[in-house]
Amino acid sequence: MPVFDFNATPDEKKPAECTYTVIRSNENEATIEKPMMILDNKHCKWEHHSCGVFTNPIKRTSFEFQQEDGTVSADILKIDARFVSLLKWLGENHINVRLSGENTEEGYAVYKIREIAFGGGTKLSAEDGFLQFMIERLLASNAPAEEENDEDEDEAGDDMKLTSLQSITDFMNCAGRTLPDNIRLWARRNLAVARSHEVSPEERRHAQRALSIMMNVQWKSNYFEAIDPDEARRILDEELYGMERVKQRIIETIIQINRTHTLPAYGLLLVGPAGTGKSQIAYAVARILKLPWTTLDMSSINDPEQLTGSSRIYANAKTGIIMDAFAMAGESNLVFIINELDKAASGKGNGNPADVLLTLLDNLGFTDNYIECMIPTVGVYPIATANDKSQISAPLMSRFAVIDIPDYTPEEKKVIFSKFALPKVLKRMSLKEDECIMSEEGLDELIKLYSNTSGIRDLEQAAEHIAANALYQIEVDHVKSVTFNAEMVRNLLR
């Protein structure tokens, strides 16, 4: 007589039932109207904050609410396509979470998910905020075109967010689709190296460090939102006086971006004498584009390795300045401000730094020797400055739209000094305008003294000197105000 009866055992295991439909959204914030997912609430209205776990999808895709009288299961009806892999990860690891949502006609709309330590247990992802970091990255990405299953791998890691192998693995499983294809494949290979015991500890350390750098950069698409030309013009007028041709060229670039929703194929090269505001124009453009910016000072770079990084074969290997800029910005779309491009050809190392810039400017991708991966540069907008374009090689010049910045006329210098430079200094020194007065002949004498200098830096220094002298007379000589005539200006500034 058999002890067990297996006659009722099914011949085949039934596949898990998917109860939800996938919705596609590119919203960068989850709300009641645009939730992450919707749960069934026909039999029970769920509380605003509800705790429980997502079920490991053996039978149905659902969420088990932990109520006072026991556990109640509710099917998932809809889910944002970007969160499908995250749902699977949460379910397979039985992570206790708290949902924040609201009961609507469609169901319980979930707009926030937080990990909790339930019943005295510990959090799987080790660090508070790790789950939120993944959710924010998913919300910042576009809906995937099609479902893709990444490899499921487990690894015991430490408690550092997106530095430990555990958090990198979790990120790859849940948000790997937010990475470009070549970076995702590169990450899998380096993850294998970082785990392997067949390579040296030094190689594992470099692989893990490279992974941490790359995973913490948000690799965006080359799509750009429209920019308000009126707001762009306001910023330019606020930052720059005159320069109508320069402003017109920048506004044309903005109009082009609005039509194509991509950056122009060529960056800007601003050529002009020192002190004419070339760097200020570059910062204004970065402000208009609403992008983070970084600067490369070519006069201080004399070895290409400073830009490209060093190979991992060296114990003290590290990334280059360009890759560091991506890591500091935290995203792949940024403005590279290349100062003194005419000094780039004066390399003193084993190569020419200018040659490295060519690959960055071509928008075809840049390879860092330490990372060993093609980095997409379609979201990089280069703005270079130079004093003498004759010192720039033809290949470099061909990568830019050149804008010549002329020196200011005497009349423009008068306006800049009286309307911008002096009032700014007076405000910083807490002086009133009627306490430091520049007469007309005094202004003419000042412009005459600096007629042979280019730019406006000397005018700004003169404004500082004049304001400081006025403050001295007010505090020491106890005068109420100081009016500078031609003789006073000449004696003070010569």
Confidence label for 364 from pLDDT (cuts 50, 70 and 90): confident
The answer to whether position 449 is within a domain reads yes
Distance separating alpha carbons of residues 285 and 170, to the nearest angstrom: 38
Position 39 scores a pLDDT of 94
pLDDT above 80: residue 135? yes
**pTM beyond cutoff 0.75:** no
pLDDT above 50: residue 150? no
353 and 397 both lie in a single domain: yes
**Per-residue pLDDT tens over the stretch 453-480:** 777 788 888 999 999 999 999 999 899 9
Within 201-243, residue ranges assigned H as helices are 201-215, 229-239
Domains of the chain: total: 4
Residue 211 CA: distances (Å) to CA of 208, 350, 373, 453: 5, 28, 11, 50
241 and 349 both lie in a single domain: yes
Tokens of 135: 């959710």
441 and 382 both lie in a single domain: no
Query: Where a domain ends, among 127, 146, 165?
Result: 146
Position 14 scores a pLDDT of 61
- 139: nearest Cα among 101, 178, 107, 92: 178
pLDDT above 60: residue 158? no
Task: Provide the Cα torsion 174, 177, 179, 183; round to 10°.
Answer: 100
The answer to whether position 41 is within a domain reads yes
pLDDT above 70: residue 309? yes
Which CATH number do you get for residue 460?
A: 1.10.8.60
The answer to whether position 441 is within a domain reads yes
- 168: nearest Cα among 155, 182, 181: 155
Domain of residue 301, residue span: 229-404
Amino acid at 448: K
Confidence label for 83 from pLDDT (cuts 50, 70 and 90): very high
What 256-261 contacts at long range (C-beta under 8 Å, 24+ apart), as own/partner pairs, is 257/224, 257/226, 257/227, 257/289, 258/226, 258/227, 258/229, 261/223, 261/224, 261/225, 261/226
Confidence label for 142 from pLDDT (cuts 50, 70 and 90): confident
Position 242 scores a pLDDT of 77
pLDDT above 80: residue 129? no
**Per-residue pLDDT tens over the stretch 396-421:** 888 899 988 887 888 888 888 888 88
Amino acid at 239: E
211 and 241 both lie in a single domain: no
434 and 393 both lie in a single domain: no
Confidence label for 119 from pLDDT (cuts 50, 70 and 90): low
Position 416 scores a pLDDT of 84
Using the structure block, give the residue that is written with the tokens 């290949």. 395
In the 8-state DSSP scheme, what is residue 421?
I
140 and 152 both lie in a single domain: no
**Per-residue pLDDT tens over the stretch 211-225:** 999 998 888 888 888
pLDDT above 80: residue 2? no
390 and 304 both lie in a single domain: yes
The answer to whether position 1 is within a domain reads no
Distance separating alpha carbons of residues 169 and 175, to the nearest angstrom: 10
pLDDT over 90, % of the chain? 33
In the 8-state DSSP scheme, what is residue 332?
S
383 and 428 both lie in a single domain: no
275 and 400 both lie in a single domain: yes
Specify the pairing of strand 380-386 against strand 334-339.
parallel
Which CATH number do you get for residue 370?
A: 3.40.50.300
Confidence label for 237 from pLDDT (cuts 50, 70 and 90): confident
Confidence label for 154 from pLDDT (cuts 50, 70 and 90): very low
Look at the alpha carbons of 164, 170, 171, 172 in this order and tell me if their dihedral is positive or negative: positive
pLDDT over 70, % of the chain? 89
104 and 196 both lie in a single domain: no
Position 70 scores a pLDDT of 82
pLDDT above 70: residue 441? yes
The answer to whether position 326 is within a domain reads yes
The answer to whether position 9 is within a domain reads no
Query: Where a domain ends, among 404, 427, 445?
Result: 404
Cα 28 → chain centroid = 15
Distance separating alpha carbons of residues 447 and 413, to the nearest angstrom: 7
Distance separating alpha carbons of residues 162 and 218, to the nearest angstrom: 13
pLDDT above 60: residue 1? no
Query: Where a domain ends, among 385, 404, 423?
Result: 404
458 and 400 both lie in a single domain: no
The average confidence (pLDDT) of the chain is: 84
298 and 324 both lie in a single domain: yes
The answer to whether position 4 is within a domain reads no
The answer to whether position 190 is within a domain reads yes
